[in-house]
Chains A and B, each alone.
Chain A
Amino acid sequence: MEKLEIKTKVLSENQRIAEELREKFRANGVLVLNFISSPGSGKTELLERTLCALPPTTRVAVLTGDIQTDNDAKRIARAGFPVRQITTGGTCHLDGSMITRGLNELGIDLADLDVLFIENIGNLVCPASYDLGEEAKIVLLSVTEGEDKPLKYPSIFFKSALFLLTKVDLLPYVPFDADAAEANARLIHPAMEIIRCSATATGGLDQWLGWLHAKMKAARESALTASHTS
């Protein structure tokens, strides 16, 4: 018997596709965000309201993943934005090749885009393992869930840059300890950014929109710097 040392990432093929995508996104200054949460935390609602709140000049597209139905794509399309539904037919996560296909189907030139939102399958576990070439993963947790979810599903909190605590307008009516939820997330990821938001309350998305604008600006500027130095 011979032992062969090999150091290969199990998901190296997905990683290769994701790195290729990331390179293209960055070269074109497109900010790509991968939204992950349990079913029902408010990903689609947040996206709809965010799309409507963006300046009309913002060039934005959406890829939305579900196991079945194109209901979410229909919701987002009503707001008039280019959207493509990725229906996985049973698979519990999106992977890099699905993003490549989704972009082809959208038929948009990346040079004509400022921001791409990817709404992952409602699942706090499996999407954590798959890089989609995004600039950041964003995890959503709503106040109607448990504040210990960051401890129960640590990987996604470990890997996400931003934690959006959603539906905070319901805090007066539910026994949810928002400070404990944030402390739990920081146990897993001390440097995590956390924003409390509400898609339905007046001004409830302001802080999130501020974060988004800052990231879009950074993506644009770093693409410009790269094109000037190359």
Chain B
Amino acid sequence: MHELSIAQSILEIVETEMKSRPKARVMVVGVRIGAMAAVDAESLRFGFDASVKGTEFDGLKLELRITEAERQCLMCDHRYMMLALESNCPECGSHDAIPLGGDELDIEYLEVDDGKAGD
């Protein structure tokens, strides 16, 4: 289970990002997981919650967005999402395709409370 290492990598990046905002408190971190990233969402949540407990990030919420792998058909150039493992090109039915993504593992956003009134 490498999700615990990944949870810790996420927290290291959050920590670095927050250094420039010492007065703000980070409430949410948004992470995108590609369908081919080999990362299990539930294990990551478990590892993340275990990693923040009792630290300065206690209560930090992890929002996950799981995205499908995009492919481009080699026959007709159509770009499509690989929704099932068996998916062929919806335009021409060909199976020959090159991957355009799918192994993403990115931090997309942070939601921070900077203590300003009215927020």
Chain A interface residues (CB < 8 Å from chain B): 1-14, 91-93, 125-126, 128-130, 151, 153-156, 158-159, 186-191
Q: Which residues of B contact A91 (CB under 8 A)?
A: 2, 5
Residues of the A chain whose Cβ atoms lie less than 8 Å from the Cβ of B114: 2
User: Are A154 and B36 touching (Cβ within 8 A)?
Assistant: yes
9 residue pairs, one from A and one from B, having the closest CB atoms: A155-B38, A126-B2, A128-B38, A158-B36, A4-B110, A10-B105, A8-B107, A155-B36, A129-B38
Indicate the size class of the contact surface on chain B: 35 or more
Query: Do B96 and A6 touch (CB < 8 A)?
Result: no
Check if A2 sits within 8 Å of B106, measured CB to CB. no
B98 CB contacts on chain A under 8 angstroms: 190-191
Q: Give CA–CA (A219, B97) in the complex, Å.
A: 26
Q: Mark B81-119, 1 if CB is under 8 A from A, else 0.
A: 000011000000001111100110111111111100001
Main secondary structure on A side of the interface with B: mixed
Is B77 on the interface with A (CB-CB < 8 A)? no
| Chain B interfacial positions (CB closer than 8 Å to A) | 1-2, 5-6, 9-10, 12-13, 17, 24, 27, 31, 35-39, 69, 74, 85-86, 95-99, 102-103, 105-114, 119
Which single residue of chain B is at the shortest CB-CB distance from A184?
A: B85
B86 proximity list for chain A (CB < 8 A): 187
B85–A10 touching, CB < 8 Å: no
Complex: A189 Cα to B13 Cα, angstroms? 32
Q: How far is the CB of A4 from the nearest CB of chain B, in Å?
A: 5
Within 8 Å CB of B105, what residues of A?
9-11, 129
A190 near B96 with CB under 8 A, answer yes
Instruction: Give A8 to B13 CA distance when docked, in angstroms.
Output: 8
Query: Measured between alpha carbons, how far is A189 from B98 in the docked complex, in Å?
Result: 8
CB-nearest residue of chain B relative to A130? B2
A205 to B12, CA, bound (A): 44
A126 to B2, CA, bound (A): 6
Give the docked Cα–Cα distance between A2 and B37 (Å). 29
List 9 A-B pairs, Cβ < 8 Å. Answer: A3-B111, A4-B17, A9-B106, A12-B13, A129-B105, A130-B2, A155-B36, A187-B86, A191-B98
Question: How far, in Å, is B20 (CB) from chain A's closest CB?
Answer: 10
> Which of A13, A153, A158 meets B103, CB within 8 Å?
A158
